[in-house]
A and B are shown apart, each in its own frame.
Chain A
Amino acid sequence: MYRNPFTSDLLAELERLQRQAQRFTGPATSIRGYDRLGFPALNVGGTPDSVEVYAFAPGLDPKTIDVTVERGVLSISGERAATLPQAGAPGGGATVHINERFQGRFQRAISLSDDADPARVSASYTNGVLHISVKRRESSQPRRIEVH
């Protein structure tokens, strides 16, 4: 547990402690109920020539997902429509028993390292996972220099 002794923001400290406490809710990692800050969940990794981002965003129309790169920041945004009947809608009699799934507008941003080339980004959406691949710039690849 890392505690920053110089913090002046008590609210941020409390939030950090709560997040840490939530991690220890049992042997199973729980991902129930994406909250506003956490949809979609992101996994980011790197290969020698690319940066790979996986956004877990089921139930979207891929044409409506906005993926942009600006000043080194990759931004993923969109809106997930509600699948539930709204309160007071006609054709009534439907009762909502559980409502945990995220709905509404979302936006998440990732800063890309300097060697990521914004001109070489590809994105695909399969089984509810948005996979974004950003190739690294050619000039930044490690090159071996011959010694004669």
Chain B
Amino acid sequence: MNITKTNPGADTARADTPAMLPPVDVVEDTTRIVLYADLPGVPKDKLNLRVEADTLTIEAEVSLPMNTQMEASHAEVQVPRFQRSFTLGQELDRAHISAELKNGVLTLTIPKAEHAKPRRIEVVAA
């Protein structure tokens, strides 16, 4: 998997292909934001993470080992593609995003920039 930073406006051609919206959980604490996305059936090499200006985009393709003779009789997942975008605030350090893909769950950790972390100020008795 690769996280690439591209110029705004580049590579938007795929935005029109139908895709599923992966369900996500987003948690924020004092030092970072963590995003969990369900991407079942996506191997590491089919996952594409992009940060363009303020937008984080997750794009992935489902790749299942399938018998070529198989005929589907009931398909609840019909589009083998995921795509979802999020806007990131200025306080997030997009240069240090880390990602892990395990058992079809993507965990993205986006740390907050140093200047945005809360700092406790000592109050001294005067």
Contact = CB atoms under 8 A, between A and B. Distances in A.
Contacts of B71: 45-47
A95 B75 CA distance: 36
A16 interface: no
Chain B contact-residue range equals 35 or more
Given A41-B76, A46-B70, A58-B38, A28 B21 contact: yes
Interface of B: 18-30, 33, 36, 38-43, 64-67, 69-79, 83, 103-105
Interface of A: 27-34, 38, 40-48, 50, 52, 54, 56-60, 83-85, 93-102, 125-129, 131
Main secondary structure of the interface of A (DSSP, over half): loop
Contacts of A52: 66-67, 70
B119 to A, nearest CB: 14
A38 B76 contact: yes
Contacts of B76: 38, 41-43, 56
